[in-house]
Structure 1
Amino acid sequence: MQFQQLAYFVAVAETRHFTRAAEQARVAQPSLSQQVRALERDVGATLFHRIRGNVTLTEAGETLLPIARRILAETETAYRAIRELDELGRGRVRLGATPSLCTGLLPAMLAAFRRAYPGIELVLHESGSRDLQTELSEGALDLAMIVDSRVHDDPRLSSTPLFVEELVVISPKAARAPVRGRLAIGDLRDRPLVMFRRGYDLREATVNACRAEGFDPVFAIEGGEMDAVLELVQAGIGLAVVPSTVVGDRFRMTQFTEPGLSRVVRLAYRRDVEQPRAVRALQDGIVRFLHGEGGAGHLPPGTRSLVGA
């Protein structure tokens, strides 16, 4: 008794017609009839009454039909389970990312991954790079997209550089530009800034750049997360230094003069554990998204891919 023979038997039983069953099974009718006869020889009983084109089940056929359906269903379930494992039809990945990445690049990236692997559950945790590294090291995350890298301080962690992200100054679109052309770091002196909370990478980058030019920045307001900072700038409270990936069409963007300000975004992971296939799939998906066709990827202006560099 073969699997294909049972499939042909069920098709004939459901259509009550050998020709229609052959069309449904996408096989030549003589071949289907031959396989059904071979099944009848195997089970030692006639399964169909064949009278002038009228096909009905015999008692043996009635007995075999529910059994055959169950075998086919269980076999298909087994095939599907194996295919799902092989094709990553299920799984769970806990991804950490900084607020600026969650606001800017990450939504399109994760949407592309979901289209490719709709069965994989994604759990996103938004926090600063330092906190994300701690959670990754403790096993609370599978992957983390962080800014720059201090992962060499933890022997359990490693990271891969993804792209260089330009930092720019934003102001309300209706307002005039802070200066004509590009902005020097020194031009931020005495200009009120909307500043992120302590522990934010962008806060450290801005303050350190200003101090390197010999002054401390003036804060119009401080303590916000990314969404709050953007809204406060939009309200006209002050300027802000943000990644170019979060600017969009809402703000006026002014670049810094060369060499400018930038930061490296990295993908951090545990080096001391074997990653599940779903986690490896997301790692590969992030790289493919950034690299894209011909290396162009999906990065917006003001960023430069380091994938494959």
Structure 2
Amino acid sequence: MDIRQLTYFITIAESGSFTRAAAKLHIAQPALSIAVKKLEQQLEMPLFHRGDRKIALTHEGEVLIQHARLILQQVEDARIAMAELKGLQKGEVRLGVPSMLGSYFFPEILMGFKSRYPNLKLTLVEAGTQSIRQMLLNGELDLGVIRSADLPDSLEAEPLLTSEMVAVVSPNHDFAQLPSVSFEQFFSQELVMFKQGYFHRDYLDSVCQTHKLKQNIAFETNLLPMILSIIRQEFAISALLEMVTRHEPGLTAIPFDEPVHLNLAIAWRKNGYLSLADRAFMEFIKAHQRHRRPHSV
């Protein structure tokens, strides 16, 4: 096996087709087929089920692809490390953040970091924490924000912030004058929610299961501005991090009777390589948090 063969193998598996894989790799399809056939001969086992229209991995292929992805990621880590030893001045931080943090917590950090390190590139991906976790494991992201409770063994993390989740309604809603609301009151209302896979939706789903409550979801969207608009126009209510209501007019935040505090962490692959750019970003976040007031965000 060599790196080229493993690259071909992964591209075919992800494309589901030799034709599409050959186009992505910019090589002729017959050459790609020959290369994979040689790999299968070396291993003395088939890696693909070859159908008329689509191919699929065999059991042996499923086992190999896990190792192949790790090998290619380690090769890329080594390339970055060697480039840094030669004094490479440029680098990239690939960061995954949930929508609310991307809109209300990270802009100040990102702008400050870019001002200090103008030659470094920042790539920000907004997604649900389940997707962020998987992208970290796949090597698509260097750093990602997830719930501390969702940390798998293959990731390492450092605490980032603790934030309260509150019910969010329009100022004219019946709940707006209440000092707090129960889960029963909240779930009795029509709701606008993020889709499953986002940390606050996953938490509320677990609350429903624990308390044997049923959600009345009228709207489901991953677009935070749409959620805020629906709340303001009194079509539904939601639950968001308290930091959102501090920055958005026309919303009323009400704590739950049982206060909900979510602990969020910034995570990375346990066996991955954190580049100089990634480490500089981590140190910048730590310094930023130290200069904030010592209470929860």
Asked if 1 retains the 8 angstrom alpha-carbon contact of 2:162 and 2:261, the reply is: yes
Asked if 2 retains the 8 angstrom alpha-carbon contact of 1:129 and 1:146, the reply is: yes
- What TM-score, normalized by structure 1, do the two folds share? 0.62
Cα distance in 2 for residues equivalent to 1:289 and 1:184: 35
Counterpart secondary structure, 2:157: strand
Question: What pairs up with 1:109-148 in 2 under 5 angstroms?
Answer: 109-148=109-148
Q: CA RMSD in A?
A: 2.4
Counterpart secondary structure, 2:202: helix
Question: What pairs up with 1:115-264 in 2 under 5 angstroms?
Answer: 115-153=115-153, 155=154, 157-175=155-173, 177-247=175-245, 248-250=247-249, 251-257=251-257, 259-264=258-263
Which structure 2 residue ranges, 5 or more long, are not aligned? 1-83
Asked if 1 retains the 8 angstrom alpha-carbon contact of 2:179 and 2:254, the reply is: yes
After superposition, the C-alpha distances for 1:211-251 in whole angstroms (9 at most, x for unaligned) are 43332121222244323222221221111001112222321
Cα distance in 1 for residues equivalent to 2:139 and 2:230: 36
Asked if 1 retains the 8 angstrom alpha-carbon contact of 2:158 and 2:266, the reply is: yes
Counterpart secondary structure, 2:152: helix
Cα distance in 2 for residues equivalent to 1:212 and 1:181: 24
> CA distance change for structure 1 residues 189 and 142 in 2, over 3 Å: closer, same or farther?
closer
Which structure 1 residue ranges, 5 or more long, are not aligned? 1-81, 298-302
Larger radius of gyration: 1
Cα distance in 1 for residues equivalent to 2:186 and 2:172: 20
Cα distance in 1 for residues equivalent to 2:137 and 2:205: 28
Amino acid at match of 2:97: A
Amino acid at match of 2:203: A
Aligned positions, number = 211
Asked if 2 retains the 8 angstrom alpha-carbon contact of 1:89 and 1:117, the reply is: no
Question: What pairs up with 1:50-89 in 2 under 5 angstroms?
Answer: none
After superposition, the C-alpha distances for 1:38-58 in whole angstroms (9 at most, x for unaligned) are xxxxxxxxxxxxxxxxxxxxx
After superposition, the C-alpha distances for 1:189-216 in whole angstroms (9 at most, x for unaligned) are 4211112212222212123223433321
Show structure 1 runs of 4+ deviating over 6 A: none
Cα distance in 1 for residues equivalent to 2:231 and 2:148: 25
Counterpart secondary structure, 2:192: strand
Counterpart secondary structure, 1:108: helix
Amino acid at match of 1:271: K
Cα distance in 2 for residues equivalent to 1:144 and 1:203: 18
> CA distance change for structure 1 residues 133 and 214 in 2, over 3 Å: closer, same or farther?
closer
Q: CA deviation at 1:167?
A: 0.1
Asked if 2 retains the 8 angstrom alpha-carbon contact of 1:188 and 1:217, the reply is: no
Asked if 2 retains the 8 angstrom alpha-carbon contact of 1:170 and 1:252, the reply is: yes
